[in-house]
Structure 1
């Protein structure tokens, strides 16, 4: 169920106008955050941006941090640090699972 929720949140199906309505951000602000590499909308063959629900959540987080006075460079740095941590944790989980599987199959031989 969690995996299904994640794929649902990651689908890029929302227009920039709808994102603006949902977040209260202007179109210019949303485009600016894209320029600063804080969000990565999908662009179709006509160049139309499409956002996911995860992008909307990210934009809300960005807006809140900006209201607190946090600069976009700091937000990007924090996002990259968080991304690296998630990758490291995923790699650790994978190694642990591989170790468990190897131990289980070696034990059965």
Structure 2
């Protein structure tokens, strides 16, 4: 079961109200590959609470003068580190379960 924070149920207007970002800014961050809303059958964007938190982090970095390509690079690097850590944890669990080294 997924966390409520991951459910994509929030409209772009509500994201605008929660973050203070303009609708154009939110769409721009989507265009740059920093955020990935779901689309309804009618094409309406839907965001999660995690997306809102991410948009606030992006906005903070932009205020500090960080360019969007740098933010994307940092996000990809962070994801790769998390993936490697998860792989090591799973490998450790597998090895412990089957008593391997």
How far apart, CA to CA, are the structure 1 residues paired with 2:14 and 2:60? 19
Aligned pair count reads 100
Gaps of 5+ in 1: none
Gaps of 5+ in 2: none
Larger Rg: 1
1:48-102 deviation per Cα after TM superposition (whole angstroms, max 9, x unaligned) = 0000000001000000000000000000000000011111111010000001101
Runs of 4+ in structure 1 off by over 3 angstroms are none
1:8 Cα shift?
1.3
User: 1:99 is matched with which residue?
Assistant: 95
The structure 1 residue matched to 2:55, chosen from 49, 54, 59, is 59
Normalising by structure 1, we get a TM-score of 0.88
Instruction: Give the CA RMSD over aligned residues.
Output: 1.3
